Chains A and B, each alone.
Chain A
């Protein structure tokens, strides 16, 4: 777990260097409004500020996605999180226009998706972005291999070739020997593995996950999350992941967009969101998160006092608090946070306990300045 998070944050830092060039999806001011004369809502200044209830009362429309902007960077796992009805599933369907956006711009590797005609859109769906669904969406009359090969069949790939590639994918997701079964004979977790293999089989640039593991029970869900983490570390494929489960979001996401009532209320790394909630809603949301497993010592440290800079074990700034606790407890003294040979600060019992107790209120997210509430 800690390893992947480290790798993820590292990857994030690498991509952030030249993010403009490497955005896979670039979404700007995207709207999706359901209801009569929906297309007028995004441009009508008098209603865009209204709450959902007021909007419905006044216009009869529901804005599932309102004025959403974000970039999905190449190679990252971008998680969209929100409770049911927050518009996250609508948002992900807008990305390949399974649901037609009402307004806004949407680019895929620099290509304007909104302006695509039928053929180019089909091309996008066939080769470049494929999706994994909450309810699997498997075809019950086909065998596992034929289900996995379905995307290739639609592309017009010949029978032998697509079955060979499908068999490869079946192995990849750990379903060896089940290729000739039907979906009805598989467990929920296995079925979703088939869904995953089907999406992978077309070798897309982006994988879109729409609450893929919500229908699975907790143990299987954990397995599947490991599977996604494994796939991501092996292939480095860009993923957009929709979930309503905060722990899942924190586990998988390089960056998380938290949605509420169709709007993105906060966008940031898991650590930023947990340590620095944007508003009361987010604070409420992350209240029960085990903070020591998300927050790094960079955030937990305080400036060195005299003499401290030379003693104590050295920790990387990205070390999680939970790991630092062990080091501090073992040595019985403070630890130093060292980056490139330079000591940034120190963490001790009190600092780490504050994190666990949720007492480090960091208003500005500043690394060096420690605002002790005690």
Chain B
């Protein structure tokens, strides 16, 4: 250590002598000074020392984890934990998914399409209104696309898993939401759980589930429920708590008992939030169902995954398109249901007027016919053809695949002069990514710890600093220092790209109406797409490798950042903005002096969200050559190797904690500082 201080002194001296003014400016800011000292020390240390975490300080977790994994495998058939608890869950979920899948295939392609179309039409408001008809048409088209592209079976198995997962998530979510919404103690207990779930990358808990349930649909289903239930619970609780207190008091004053109050007032008052929760749950479930193909969920996600592994870009794109179509379909239908809820003068359960209009009669007849049809199908077996007729597909899907393949090849390196996307990716790797990674790996570990501590202190909270330092230390102890620095460098590059692009576009969107109008539909579609799908076009463009992972992360995190930024800027107190304008401020002055400072909390939130989202993708980036921790997690999943997978997962969560706390405390600290 003594040599360290020496180096530090040597390097520090010229910096201090460089400008007396600078030092005077820094005298009032010890933290900033400390930061500079640490940075100087980092550079010095990187030159003088080996930066890696010392071997002596690592703890071998692989051995014990492998033991645990072996124990699990050996005892799966005998341990009471499995026999009386996990086995039941496993059987139920397997049975449920199988049942739904059989039901769907018994209905046949025609049956499924008709049923889905009718259901969408009914949810969107039934009748002959334009919106309901449009959604019905959209549904029919989407199901036809599955068939034409030759992915009917895959789509059905994804759908079967979705139906069971969403049903389970919704039920569990509502129950948890009731607990959190009605009891303060329940809220206190559940809130941190929900918060953690929101930050945790989904991949982190896939592995333990794989060990408990084995590869296959039970693990996929359970992980989907764990991933998708929290938003339902959170929004249910929010709706219950946010209900108009006057309405609840009115109910009480009329002598309603607590059950009556729950049924007639509390739940109905919360149904807007609950529907929003259901929408989020459905979208998240889709995201996870697709991702769970890595652990054997099958379906469309598996198709994408297999095609990516075989570098068959065309096939992966086609399967990806199907997933996006499902996402759009589900989102549109739930959104239509939500809108209907908001603006429904007597259309909802107002069959009470007694007047049975022709329209309503028709709807009932159709519904009854469908139910009969469905029951017959599930009892008697296939109605008509089970699967989409093959001769309608073969001719279509192969040429599409080929066309896409040749197109992406042309774009990736065939563009004259400019070089093409592959070439750019290679440049990006050698000029930005590699130097960054090398620098971070070369920097001495204690220096990085110090840097984190000082950064957090600067940001305003020493507790965040403690969390950060501890997280990093855990990473070091796990023996994943180098890999984590690699991942961290990717995350930082992605974050910087995301934030720069997101803030610029967000500011543009906030200041110009037509930019907003232009990008809003794009953002809407992007935010509903499953994470996994982002990999597909990216790989098509830049091939497998770290740039692909980074590009996917940027694209994935961008919509949220843009949205929050634009929202924050536009909701700035109009009075303050008007005051600035009345004083003759230019557009730029208004932005710099009023909008940006006042929107600071939103900007920090955007930053924080960006970090969380980027980190979620980094793991998935392991699938497309992101390497480092992500790859370890994926490898661990595929090989059921707890030692490799779980420790990498823990390291990712640690990185997440570090970045989340740093950005969060920066936001909180600055807000507190304005007192």
Contact = CB atoms under 8 A, between A and B. Distances in A.
A143 B350 contact: yes
Nearest to B247: A137
Contact of B254 (A136, A142, A151): A151
A241 interface: no
B2 interface: no
Interface string B252-269: 111111001000110011
B246 A137 contact: yes
Contacts of A125: 252-255
A141 B253 contact: no
A257 interface: no
A151 B254 CA distance: 6
A17 interface: no
A123 interface: yes
Contact of A180 (B249, B253, B255, B346): B346
A219 interface: no
Contacts of A180: 345-346, 350, 353
Interface string A122-165: 11111100110111111111110010001101110001000100
A133 B244 CA distance: 12
A206 B352 CA distance: 31
Given A143-B350, A159-B352, A154 B345 contact: no
Contacts of B251: 137, 139, 150, 154
Contacts of B520: none
B356 to A, nearest CB: 16
Given A98-B252, A126-B254, A133 B246 contact: yes
B195 to A, nearest CB: 30
Contacts of A124: 255
Interface in A156-209: 159, 163, 180-182, 185, 195, 198, 202, 208
Contact of A202 (B252, B254, B352): B254
B271 interface: yes
B250 interface: yes
A161 to B, nearest CB: 13
Contacts of A137: 244, 246-251
Contacts of B260: 154
A134 B345 contact: no
Given A159-B352, A180-B346, A98 B249 contact: yes
Interface in B577-597: none
B272 to A, nearest CB: 9
Contacts of A139: 247, 251, 264-265, 268-269
A125 B256 CA distance: 9
A202 B255 CA distance: 11
A96 interface: yes
Given A135-B246, A138-B247, A126 B255 contact: yes
A150 B318 CA distance: 54
Interface in B342-362: 344-346, 348, 350, 352-353
B254 A154 contact: yes
Interface in A78-116: 96, 98
Interface residues of A, number: 38
Contact of A153 (B246, B253, B264): B264
A182 B344 CA distance: 8
Given A154-B251, A154-B264, A143 B346 contact: yes
Contact of B345 (A98, A182, A202): A182
A131 to B, nearest CB: 4
A134 B253 CA distance: 13
Interface string B47-60: 00000000000000
Contacts of B246: 133-137
Contacts of A208: 253
Categorize the interface residue count of chain B: 20 to 34
Interface in B253-310: 253-257, 260, 264-265, 268-269, 271
A155 B255 contact: yes
Contacts of A151: 254-255
A141 B350 CA distance: 11
Contact of B253 (A96, A127, A135): A96
A27 to B, nearest CB: 18
Given A143-B346, A159-B352, A154 B249 contact: no
Contacts of B344: 182
A141 B345 contact: no
B247 A98 contact: no
B141 to A, nearest CB: 33
A198 B269 CA distance: 18
A67 B584 CA distance: 59
B247 A131 contact: no
Contacts of B244: 135, 137, 140
Nearest to B349: A141
Interface string A273-315: 0000000000000000000000000000000000000000000
Contacts of A122: 255, 257
Contacts of A154: 251, 254-256, 260, 264
A131 B350 contact: no
A185 B244 CA distance: 17
A133 B255 contact: no
Contacts of B345: 180-182, 185
Contacts of A150: 251, 254, 264
A130 B256 CA distance: 12
Residue from A134, A138, A141 with most neighbouring chain B CB atoms (10 Å): A141
B250 A133 contact: yes
B352 to A, nearest CB: 7
Interface in A204-252: 208
A198 B260 CA distance: 17
Interface string B482-519: 00000000000000000000000000000000000000
Contact of A131 (B250, B264, B269): B250
A140 B250 CA distance: 13
A155 to B, nearest CB: 7
A286 B202 CA distance: 68
A131 B247 CA distance: 12
Nearest to A152: B254
A130 B269 contact: no
A182 B669 CA distance: 45
Contacts of A134: 246
A50 B534 CA distance: 69
A125 B244 CA distance: 20
Nearest to A185: B345
Contacts of B254: 125-126, 130, 150-151, 154, 198, 202
A128 to B, nearest CB: 10
Pairs of residues from A and B, 8 with the lowest C-beta to C-beta distance, nearest first: A137-B250, A126-B255, A125-B255, A137-B246, A135-B246, A151-B254, A131-B253, A122-B255
Given A127-B255, A133-B250, A180-B346, 18 more contacts: A96-B253, A98-B253, A121-B255, A122-B257, A125-B254, A137-B247, A139-B268, A140-B269, A141-B271, A143-B350, A151-B254, A153-B264, A154-B256, A154-B264, A155-B255, A180-B350, A181-B345, A202-B254
Interface of A: 96, 98, 121-127, 130-131, 133-143, 146, 150-151, 153-155, 159, 163, 180-182, 185, 195, 198, 202, 208
29 contacts: A96-B253, A98-B249, A98-B252, A122-B255, A122-B257, A125-B252, A125-B253, A125-B255, A126-B254, A127-B255, A130-B253, A134-B246, A137-B251, A138-B247, A139-B264, A140-B247, A141-B268, A141-B269, A141-B271, A143-B346, A143-B350, A150-B251, A154-B251, A154-B256, A154-B260, A159-B352, A181-B346, A198-B250, A208-B253
Interface of B: 244, 246-257, 260, 264-265, 268-269, 271, 344-346, 348, 350, 352-353
